[in-house]
Homo-oligomer: A and B are copies of this chain.
Amino acid sequence: MSELDQHRSLNHSLNAFSEALKSGRFVRMRRLLASLHPAETAHLLESLPPKERLVCWPIINPELRGEVLSYVGDDVRTGLMTGMDTADLLSATEDLDTDDVVDILQDLPGHVMQEVLRAMNSQRRRRIEAILAYEEDTAGGLMNTDVVTVRSDITLEVVLRYLRKYGELPENTDSLYVVDHQDKYLGTLRLSQVVSRSRSLTVREAMSHQVDPIPANMSDHDVAHRFEKHDLISAPVVDKDNHLLGRITIDDVVDVIRDEAEHSLLSMAGLSEDEDTFAPVKKSIHRRSVWLGINLLTAFLAAWVIGLFDTTIEKLVALAVLMPIVASMGGIAGSQTLTLVIRSMALDQLNDKNQRWLLRKEFLVGMANGVIWAIAIAFVTYLWFGNFLLGIMIGAAIIVNMTAAAVAGVMIPLGLKRIGIDPALSGSVLLTTVTDVVGFMAFLGFATLFIV
């Protein structure tokens, strides 16, 4: 079956499923669900409105529910888990990797989490508690504790014999970790080395030191950065005394990378990256109001600035007609700069040295684009209103506002970061405030001084 067919057939089963759901044909729904990979089931659930989600959830094979939970977003997961009791949660999570179990447990209320933990066998509980001890957004929170370790003084022949006895290796195992008798990390032995080097070599001779172990308290941002930069597939995690705690595999890091990149996009609209597109109406109203409220304050500030010039506007109503153009051009130019700076900050590209260069550059770009568009706008204004002076005033205001926008687009995120506020979240509100206030003030101010 070609991928196109497969893709069609996935879409087809999603549509068929919706049909069956609508007409309440549960047998057909169950059959369709059984044909899907847990990841596809998760995708299907995420694409359903919340009520339909809760109708489907009980039809899903209980043994697969844990894996499905590990694939859905936080927001959707919380919704699905509200109806599950401890026994359900335990059976759903029993076949999962420890890191996925932890992700799920962290979304539960404290007492439910304790109950689920108590019901586990002691080895699994210890492993999971080891991960729970670390913050969710650190290497410790991302890691998986099912690692295969070997000693450095044995030969590859012995390693091969050991692995055959070990049986099925944990998923995505591409490396073994070499530890001493105190469980301290010594190096990484790639499976590709085990199979391609001479069997009489010792582990010490075949192992690699290329991959530095990751400290458990490293932030997930830095972990992702390191995986991306060094094209890693997995990496060992150690505590501060270099004891091996677990490993991080790239599939967990991919989630971090996607979340981070989406974070900037969604934050700039005042949304959270866990935002569920199909969240219930009530929840969405509440969540978005906050952002609207904050923006309203800045809109009132802009209105107040305009109010300062009401007598000027009364005398020359063309000012009211044209003033949104000044504010809007500043807003667009500023948000281009802001978006670039926020992206560069997320990629750790900015430092003390190049910040000044960037500010100077954006200043020049803003001013140059200001001049170009000022001429165009002044010309159109002159044609429209037959008022030469009005054209000059709007042109001057455009130059001032677009230059200010560029400077604000660099300074606001840098300033916010310095005081520990997320620039992606509050940057755009502050920027619009600046471009509105400066734009209205410049245009109406110039007009008051020179025309009216």
Interface residues of A (CB under 8 A from B): 2-4, 6-7, 11, 14-15, 18, 37, 39-40, 43, 46-49, 71, 159-160, 163-164, 166-169, 171-174, 191-192, 194-199, 212, 214-215, 218, 222, 227-233, 240, 250-251, 253-254, 257-258, 261-262, 264-266, 268-271, 275, 277-278, 281, 284-285, 288-289, 291-293, 295-296, 298-300, 302-303, 306-307, 310-311, 313-314, 317-325, 327-329, 332-333, 335-336, 338-341, 343-344, 348-354, 357-358, 361, 364-365, 368-369, 372-373, 376-377, 380, 432, 436
Contact = CB atoms under 8 A, between A and B. Distances in A.
Copies in the complex: 2
A306 B324 contact: yes
Nearest to A348: B43
Interface of A is mostly: helix
Residue of A14, A167, A270, A325 contacting most chain B CB atoms (<10 Å): A325
Which 4 pairs across A and B sit closest by C-beta, in order of nearness?
A: A261-B261, A320-B320, A39-B229, A231-B251
Contact of A350 (B47, B311, B341): B47
A173 B192 contact: yes
A262 to B, nearest CB: 5
27 contacts: A3-B222, A4-B218, A37-B229, A49-B354, A160-B195, A169-B195, A172-B233, A174-B174, A174-B233, A228-B251, A231-B251, A261-B261, A270-B336, A277-B340, A278-B358, A284-B365, A288-B336, A289-B372, A292-B332, A292-B369, A292-B373, A302-B328, A311-B317, A313-B317, A313-B320, A317-B320, A319-B320
Contacts of A228: 251, 254, 258
Contacts of A303: 321-322, 324-325
A354 B262 contact: no
Contacts of A369: 285, 288-289, 292
B214 A335 contact: no
Nearest to A385: B307
Contacts of A7: 222
A341 B196 contact: no
B292 A306 contact: no
Contacts of A48: 354
A317 B306 CA distance: 10
A444 to B, nearest CB: 10
B299 A324 contact: yes
